[in-house]
Amino acid sequence: MTKTLTELRATAPWLLHVSTDIVIFTIREGELRVLLRRRYSEAMSVTCWALPGGYLGPVEPLEQCAQRTLAHQTGIDDVYLEQLYTFGRPDRHPKSRVITVAYFALIPWERVCAESAEGVPHIAWRHVDALPDLYLDHAEIIDQARQRLVSKLQYSTIGFEFMPEQFTLGELQCVYETILGEPLDKRNFRKKVLAFGCVEDTGEQRRNGSHRPARLYRYTAPGEVLYIK
Binding mask 24-63 for its own copies (x = CB under 8 A): --------------------------------x-xxxxx-
Instruction: Compare residues 28 and 97 and give the one whose CB is closer to its own copies.
Output: 97
CB 57 within 8 A of CB 145: no
Q: Is 11 in the site for its own copies (CB under 8 A)?
A: yes
- Which one of residues 97, 190, 206, 218 is an interface residue with its own copies (CB under 8 A)? 97
The yes or no reply on residue 132 touching its own copies (CB under 8 A) is no
Burial (CB count within 10 angstroms: exposed 0-12, middle 13-18, buried 19+), residue 100 = buried
Name residues whose C-beta falls within 8 Å of residue 57's C-beta, 6 or more positions apart in sequence: 65
Task: Identify which of residues 8 and 44 has a Cβ nearer to its own copies in the complex.
Answer: 8
In the window 146-205, what residues touch its own copies (CB under 8 A)?
154-155
φ, ψ at 204 (rounded to 5°): -105, 165
Q: Is 3 in the site for its own copies (CB under 8 A)?
A: yes
Considering only 195, 207, 211, 227, the residue that binds its own copies (CB under 8 A) is 227
Question: 99, exposed or middle or buried, with CB in 10 Å at 0-12, 13-18, 19+?
Answer: middle
Distance in Å, CB of 200 to its own copies, minimum: 25
Interface with its own copies: number of residues (CB under 8 A): 30
CB of 22 to its own copies, least distance (A): 14
The residue among 135, 129, 105 whose CA lies nearest residue 117 is: 105
Cβ proximity of 166 and 216 under 8 Å? yes
Shortest spacing between CB 109 and its own copies, in angstroms? 29
The dihedrals phi and psi of 179, each to the nearest 5 degrees, come to -75, -45
The rounded distance, in Å, linking the Cα atoms of 35 and 128 is: 10
Residue ranges that bind its own copies, judged by CB under 8 A: 1-3, 8, 11-12, 14-18, 56, 58-62, 83, 85-86, 88-90, 97, 99, 101, 154-155, 225, 227
